Amino acid sequence: MAEHTPSTAIEMGGEEIAVGRTGVESVEESEVLTDKMIRIVADLNARYSNMTLREERCIHDAEKQLRMLEEKIRTMESNPSIICDNDLQEASKYLRLANKIRQLVEDLRSSNFTNVDKEWDNLLIRAYDLLQMAMARLEEEFVHLLAHYRQPMDPGRLSFRSTEDDSMEDFSSSSFGEEPIEGKIQGDSSSSPEEYIVDLINSHAIATIKSIAEVMFLSDYDKECCQAYITARKDALEECLLVLKIEKFTIEELLSIEWSALSSLIRRWNRGLKVLVRVYLASERRLSHLIFGELSKSVADSCFVEISRGSFVQFLSFGEAVAMGPRKPEKLFRILDMYEVLCDLLTDISSLFPNESGFSVLTECNEVLLRLGEAVKNTFMNFKYAIQTNTSTTPFSGGGVHPLTKYVMNYIKALVDYSKTLNSLFGSQTSENQNLSSESTTMALHLQSITAALELNLEGRSKLYKDDSLQNIFMTNNICYMVQKVKDSELRKFIGDDWIRVHNRKFQQHALSYERASWGPVLSFLREEGILSPNSSMPSRTVLKERFRGFNSAFEEVYRIQTAWSVPNSQLRDDLKISISLRVVQAYRTFMGRYAAYLDGARHRERYIKYCAEDVEKYLLDLFERSPKSLPYAHRW
């Protein structure tokens, strides 16, 4: 330590001069001393004697105070148990002792002793050692309080709707083989962020924890205090993630997981991220500011960022892995869910990380959101391509509604719930359809392109049937299904009434084409032309027999084949039967009324007139029930 040389001021010749101890000694040793000089020297000696006494008294007092503090600290340190376990009041006593030690260190450090340098140095070293001992104990108590009074978070008390165990089917593959579609999982009711805040530490312990932090900061142990706090709260956050069933995966592991398992993890991720951001991290940030906010808001923010960064980035890595995966159609809804959840939480995340310390977190969050958005757009476009390339060489049995039609229409029906998100991702586009609102045109254009791709696919599939009638039944069934899905859902707002009218005409035209192809040949046997005998006004029995026999054969063949066909829509099925009945039964009844009597007395008459009009009408009711039948010998005359 540098040697201190005391000095004092004297007046000589009208001027004030600073004289040190060596100067006084020089004056005393001088051979010639005036009376005035003698008086000055005597005054100086008195002053230095008083200064030395004062310094010695200060050192004595400090020594006494330090011994008392050492004794009290060692007494409390002799008990290895945590002080706070006994009583928070005991902790307050220890805090007061630590604060006194800190104050003593500051006093000693600020003192300018001159004649007792060695004593002062020893005293300061002892005070520093005692302060270090007290700080180590306070850090231990600090960590214990943070752990002991930690309040576990119960997700069951939260208002967030669980999306993990919903009894809804999900896409199992991209084979378009299933009708059930799991679309948007409804979000939570809107609430203010304050409603989600919970106490992560029992409020009874907050004051003591804050006081420990304050003493440690004032004692220049702020780094140790912050590190202890960060470590303790990271452990609490890990426990929260376990409660939320959030597991740690590498990106490589996530990319290799089966889709059904990954879909479940995504649901868990969506819910977990909401709880993490709006409940846990919001509460964690408030706790950091409760403990450190009055000491330093920047320290409070830094502690919070350090605590939360790792776990939050873990969540973002999951989203990044999903965005990197294959663009299969069955993944679109879950990726959309992830995009919407993260987008919805962006404001909350920005408020959690408002400063430069959290800038990297916000940057990564926006990058993952961008990647998820690109994954949504690419997956949507791949869905259209998957429809176009989903071909077959085998016709669909019975001509009913193809699984592809069900899948696609339910798929786009479910997409309507994401219309705002899809519109924002795809950007604004114009449509020639004036009946569509401006905010639905972008979505409408994409949905119409999907239905157009589906129609084109169905037309190709219809060509697989050798029977023209079945081709038309197939198209009637499928286009009717598409129209009903649009009419009976929110798709109508996006695809529009014009589309419905056009496609109503389409399936009705296919129905009419079916009737002509199927029943035209049957009804051709009931035509009037060629029945009369040559040069006679009487019908030819031979021609009549051929006509009735031909009708019977054609009707039975149609009956045998078309009872195995399928028209799932009950209204369409009834309409078809009524239309067929009106044409066939009426024509048959008229033909019977005019010509049946001419076969009276003919041998084996029942072979030609096998059915009455009522029989035909009854048998027509069996069509399209997907239950193949053959006609019995019906009516005996």
How far, CA to CA in Å, does 287 sit from each of 181, 201, 229, 294, 499?
43, 8, 11, 12, 57
pLDDT given at position 125:
83
Q: Which two tokens stand for residue 8?
A: 């004092």
Q: Which two tokens stand for residue 319?
A: 């989203």
Mean pLDDT of 409-418: 94
Q: Which residue has tokens 């069934």?
A: 477
pLDDT given at position 2:
43
pLDDT given at position 545:
92
Task: Check: CB of residue 185 under 8 Å from CB of residue 163.
Answer: yes
Residue 16 backbone dihedrals phi, psi, to 5 degrees: -90, 125
What is the C-alpha R_g of the chain?
A: 47
Which residue type sits at 212?
I
pLDDT given at position 102:
81
Q: Using CA atoms, how far apart are residues 177 and 181, in angstroms rounded to an integer?
A: 11
Q: Closest by alpha carbon to 383, among 419, 334, 421, 329?
A: 329
Q: In whole numbers, what is the pLDDT of the chain averaged over residues?
A: 82
How far, CA to CA in Å, does 497 sit from each of 19, 392, 486, 492?
107, 32, 9, 7
Task: Answer with the residue of higher pLDDT: 72 or 583.
Answer: 583
Task: Check: CB of residue 228 under 8 Å from CB of residue 142.
Answer: yes
- DSSP per-residue string spanning 387-435: HHH---SSPPGGG---HHHHHHHHHHHHHGGGHHHHHHHH-----S-TT
Mean pLDDT of 617-631: 91
Residue ranges of alpha helices (H) inside 325-397 are 332-344, 346-352, 359-389
Tens digits of residue pLDDT in 17-48: 444 445 545 544 555 556 656 655 555 554 44
pLDDT at 107 over 90: no
Question: Of 20-29, 85-94, 104-113, 133-142, which has the strongest mean pLDDT?
Answer: 133-142
Tens digits of residue pLDDT in 503-539: 999 999 999 999 999 999 999 999 988 888 777 788 8
Q: How confident is the model at residue 128 (pLDDT cuts 50, 70, 90)?
A: confident
| H or E element at residue 126 | helix 117-148
Q: Using CA atoms, how far apart are residues 409 and 324, in angstroms rounded to an integer?
A: 27
Q: Using CA atoms, how far apart are residues 98 and 73, in angstroms rounded to an integer?
A: 9
Q: Which two tokens stand for residue 240?
A: 């929260």
pLDDT given at position 60:
61
Q: Closest by alpha carbon to 460, among 384, 383, 393?
A: 393
Task: Answer with the residue of higher pLDDT: 314 or 127.
Answer: 314
Quote the crossing angle between the two packed helices 441-462 and 419-426, to the nearest 10°: 100
| H or E element at residue 104 | helix 88-110
Q: Which two tokens stand for residue 487?
A: 């009419």
Question: Of 76-85, 398-407, 440-449, which has the strongest mean pLDDT?
Answer: 398-407
Task: Check: CB of residue 476 under 8 Å from CB of residue 514.
Answer: yes
pLDDT at 436 over 50: no
Beta bridge mates, 17: 10
pLDDT given at position 285:
95
Task: Check: CB of residue 620 under 8 Å from CB of residue 580.
Answer: yes
Q: Closest by alpha carbon to 380, among 336, 417, 430, 427?
A: 336
| H or E element at residue 18 | strand 15-20
pTM, to two decimals: 0.78
Q: Using CA atoms, how far apart are residues 95 and 98, in angstroms rounded to an integer?
A: 5
Q: How is the chain split into domains, by residue range?
A: 43-153+197-231, 245-371, 390-426+441-518, 526-636
Q: How confident is the model at residue 3 (pLDDT cuts 50, 70, 90)?
A: very low
